[in-house]
Amino acid sequence: MTDEKLLAEIAAFIGQEAMHSKAHAEFNDAWRSDDYNLDRFQAWLARKDRYVKNLHPKIQLAITCAFEHFTALLGGYILRHPEVLSTLDDDAIKLWVWHAIEEIEHRAVAFDVYQHVYGDDKIRRMIMRSVTTGFASLTFYSATRLFLQDKKKSLPKVGGNVFGIYLLGKMFVQLVPEYLSYYKAGFHPAEIDYSKIVGYWKTRLSEDYQFEGFQDHQTQILYS
Ligand SMILES: [Fe+2]
Ligand SMILES: [Fe+2]
């Protein structure tokens, strides 16, 4: 890959993730006004963020590669199994589908930069192992805390809870092969093909939800 092409992809990646952070912040604000207190998690995350920013750039980049693998996998799963979004309203579905598509689109950018600059598979795998443990425990911990904050309403919904746990379990089991592919020698994120499912959802977003074009949307972000 040429340096110019990679630089353009990095710029697009930054633009997309900047928009995601904004969307996450708005989504969290909408939640905050409900029953959920997110401040403690956010303070905890800010501390982690400060810690990560002091690590060697190689490690920071390897962490990004690991997270990008997770977000692409989860994005792909959402698009293939939209039933996981069935309890959400149209706006929230749009938000998650849009995010999922962008995670898939830019899944190889950090990876390509890492390979270009460092190309150290040993560290890449090692960091993936620690990110996996950290990410899994954080997700489990925060989901449990949020569930308990809302326990008066959420506990009595036994059927819904059992179904939710079933959906999550099914997702983890089905994602194992794609997750493990990251540890293979010569792995590249582009080898997981999402073209058909992404094409399907892009059409649905524009037809069913009159969602603006992805490229136009991105150009606006980059040059506004
Ligand atoms: Fe994102
Ligand atoms: Fe991403």
How many Cβ atoms from other residues are within 10 Å of residue 21's Cβ? 9
Say how many Å lie between the CA of residue 156 and the centre of ligand 1.
33
Say how many Å lie between the CA of residue 107 and the centre of ligand 2.
6
Say how many Å lie between the CA of residue 72 and the centre of ligand 1.
9
Average pLDDT estimate for 114-142 = 94
CA distances from 114 to 8, 58, 61, 62, 80 (A): 16, 8, 6, 7, 29
Task: Name the residue among 172, 183, 222, 175 with its Cα closest to residue 65.
Answer: 183
Per-residue model confidence as pLDDT tens digits over 165-183: 888 889 999 999 999 999 9
Give 97-114 as a DSSP string.
HHHHHHHHHTTTHHHHHH
Say how many Å lie between the CA of residue 163 and the centre of ligand 1.
27
Say how many Å lie between the CA of residue 83 and the centre of ligand 2.
22
Per-residue model confidence as pLDDT tens digits over 26-60: 888 887 766 777 888 888 889 999 999 999 999 99
Asked if pLDDT for residue 218 goes beyond 60, the answer is: no
pTM: predicted TM-score of the whole model, two decimal places:
0.86
Say how many Å lie between the CA of residue 100 and the centre of ligand 2.
9
CA distances from 15 to 29, 53, 92, 218 (A): 21, 19, 21, 7
pLDDT value of residue 150? 78
Average pLDDT taken over every residue of the chain: 88
The Cα–Cα gap between 124 and 63 comes to: 8
The Cα–Cα gap between 181 and 69 comes to: 10
Say how many Å lie between the CA of residue 75 and the centre of ligand 2.
10
